[in-house]
Amino acid sequence: MATRLHGKDYKRVFDLGRSRKGRYVVAWRMELGGDGNGGVFAGVVATKRGLPLAVERSRAKRLVREAFRLLAKDGAAPLNTAWVFVVRSWIKGAKFAEVMEDMRRLCARC
């Protein structure tokens, strides 16, 4: 199960992780040290510049969180990783299945 990333860890993922761009999100991934029994941590960023209305930002973050929760449950996201997803403006009219497929591709590539 994915756990939310704490605020202080976002910068660490941006500085030390690597990124991949998808149609709806940019995924940043960082490997965490450990013995392989750790969890999967995730955070979502939606900027006011890309999504000016608070309703759009909230919907986008909910879509991404739920898609990643299901992917982590299926094992698509490896253990001992921290993820930050930056939402892109094209997510406005996207369906959940489209976002899920985009994130599945990103998790496989990252």
Domains and CATH numbers, the chain: 2-109 (3.30.230.10)
CB 29 within 8 A of CB 83: yes
Q: Which 3 state secondary structure label does DSSP give 49?
A: coil
Q: What is the pLDDT of residues 62-101, one digit of tens each?
A: 999 999 999 999 988 888 899 999 999 999 999 999 999 9
13 is written with which tokens? 């993922």
Among residues of the chain, what percentage have pLDDT more than 90?
Answer: 71
Count the Cβ atoms, other than its own, within 10 Å of residue 103: 24
- In sequence order, the β-bridge partners of residue 41 are 3, 82
pTM of the predicted protein model: 0.90
